[in-house]
Structure 1
Amino acid sequence: MKYEQLGRSGLQASRLVLGTMNFGTHADERDSFEIMDRAIEAGFNFFDTADVYGGAAHPGLTEEIVGRWLQKSGHRDRVILATKVFGRMSPDINDRGLSAFHIRRAVEASLRRLGTDHIDLYQMHHIDRSAPFEEIWQAFDTLIGQGKITYIGSSNFAGWHIASAAEAARERHMLGPISEQSHYNLLTRAVESEVLPAAQHYGVGVIAWSPLAGGALAGGDGVRRREATGESEPLAHALRQWFEFCRALGREPGHVALAWLLQRPGVHGPIIGPRTPAQLDSAVRALEIEFSEAELARLDDIFPGPGGPAPESYAW
């Protein structure tokens, strides 16, 4: 495993992040426990979950599974435990969002489900346009003072949201966000225009979710779904070139897609969301791959991004 400081914090976190969204829905508790055991053996120390994971019928189920594993394994002190707040957890009108009212309730509920007294990285799962950052940071400051959370992160923020959050925290003399989870892969590169530059400016480490584009970059269900919906021939042509590129490297496409993210400036690493222990074991091979400048240029030819950071990506 490789490790790197997470954003501008002093925290050393594994470059591959164990995502737990499939725990309780696509992986039963037994398999989930085995995946986490193997992740520890492979050197993962960064586990990511969210209060809403577990499906509409049982939000919180994934945190409960992670919590039971933490109690059984005794590995709580070895894990950087990250969870999220924002999603609706019940029909109660205030049981959602980033109001101070909801944050206070949500963190207590997550702590109970996770069976721990603190959360290492507490992430805003989405921007809440109805909650000012003054209110949000006041709530987080209280929780940090109480020892219930240590660091703050965000997810699905635009570049200007990252800037707004960081500046509001600075006014309160707080560290501010240290991480941002963004939808980022070879097929989805919009974050390169403004999110990545904002994150780098403020010392925020970017964590990529859906690194395999729903399986499309690994040759799985994502490809078949795109064919079934009749997506454009240019995309099909790009994917054919992609698989040829991976064959020429002698590497599995999924591993190559993860390795590309590991070499992107400002990216801490991708989230691995295994459904089986074998998928977890396989993903670690991405750490072995390094690209030449020519190979990186070829990937830009196959999957053109926005053209670099804004405004040059869309202006002179």
Structure 2
Amino acid sequence: MTFIIPSRTIQLLALTGCLALAGAARAEDAISPPASPCELFATGLAGHTAMCCDGQGNVLATNYRHLGSVGKISQQDGAALLFDAPLAVAEPVEASSLVGIALDDDQRILVLDSQLGRVLRYAPESKMVTTLADRIQGRRFDSLFAIDIGPGGNIYFSEPERVSGGDATGSLYRFDVVTNRPVLLVDGLDQPTGISLSSDGKSLYVAESGRGQISVYGINQQDGTAEKVAAYFLTLLLDVDDPKEIGRLGHIAIDRRNWLYVSLWDRGEVAVIDTTNGKLIEVISCHSDSVFGLTLWQDALLMSIPEKEAIYRYDLRPLIGRHAP
């Protein structure tokens, strides 16, 4: 059963599974127990869930209630199923796993079908789901992961790896809305998973799981090409010797302060990096085995926790208070 817990009620609950980073006051000084910065937001998820916000505080989540679906979750209006991805003609029984989601300027929902390598678009007016792309130059996409919208409505998405080829065969693509086709943006990446564009669309951040790093690409505003300009090495920031200790990277998000939030998928943590100086701000622990999807709304970070089949809301205000200038 899916439910949403009002935030005032949550503050009174002793929630497990998240770590409160704010220090607890002494019992004799405290009027009431301090609220945890991490609250249960919604349950009822299936598989690995990606999320985005619609600008009004509503959360759009993939694999909601069952695989291959997209749901809308609102603390005011409750939760509802929006649509299901069309079943494949060749495998009509097997539901797809949707692992990436974004919202364009026309409020159309873009999702990525990981298993079938499809970029799908849902139009709320017609309630129709169409396939924007499932191949490039005749080759079908083998796996897709994350998606974001750039200037002019162009769509950026990642393909972690191809079945054919050797090492470091992951790629980034841009779906050009003018030509209505995908173009190769960057090739030769090592398991590119999460991606996030800066607010001005001039920088593209890419989580490369195979190398344990965040690669930064400058986007040419004239021709749309990308050039690598920087990299954040998570082995150095997290003080580990081997990228394998970091494990897989999930989704990433960037806020208005240019702080980058990186899902350390296999560690159940989120690393927060200040991209203005390349320094690690903090590591948020979820006290779970894994954390997958991330999205930001105002001063809160939403995280999908697969093992709990739930979304948690992390209050960023204590963290901002500790580190903002």
TM-score w.r.t. length of structure 2: 0.30
Structure with greater helix share of residues:
1
Structure with greater strand share of residues:
2
The structure whose RCO (Cα within 8 Å, separation 6+) is larger is: 1
